[in-house]
């Protein structure tokens, strides 16, 4: 998964299906869900793009996205946020269900 920063965000989400995982290394729930999202990024390669945003490092991006709690998973299709954001997802199932609905 590629890291996203404020300057690359708009280009990254502008086409196709994109999954953005906003988290931080110090967050236990983020560390728990990160391997799940990384595995999905490999499984869905060519169908969706996966990125991560470091909550602690990307203050301006976090604020512009309105992120209050992490981990937060955001889904985009052709540059538009779609579906419901997943805040603190407990397992792979809700992430995969949301992704499959976009493919």
Q: Is 61 a catalytic residue?
A: no
**Measured distance CA(35)–CA(98) in Å, rounded:** 18
Tell me which of 1, 27, 82, 87 is the catalytic residue.
27
User: What residue has token string 């604020």?
Assistant: 63
Which residue out of 4, 13, 24, 30 is catalytically annotated?
A: 30
Determine whether 30 is an active site residue: yes
Active site residues: 27, 30
């Amino acid at each position: 998964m590629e890291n996203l920063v404020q300057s690359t965000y708009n280009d990254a989400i502008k086409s196709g299906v994109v999954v953005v995982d906003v988290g931080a290394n110090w967050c236990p729930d983020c560390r728990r869900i990160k391997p799940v999202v990384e595995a999905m990024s490999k499984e869905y390669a060519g169908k969706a793009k996966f990125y991560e945003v470091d909550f602690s490092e990307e203050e301006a991006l976090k604020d512009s996205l309105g992120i209050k709690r992490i981990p937060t998973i955001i889904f985009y299709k052709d540059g538009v946020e779609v579906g419901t954001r997943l805040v603190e997802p407990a397992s792979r199932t809700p992430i995969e269900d949301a992704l499959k609905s976009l493919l």
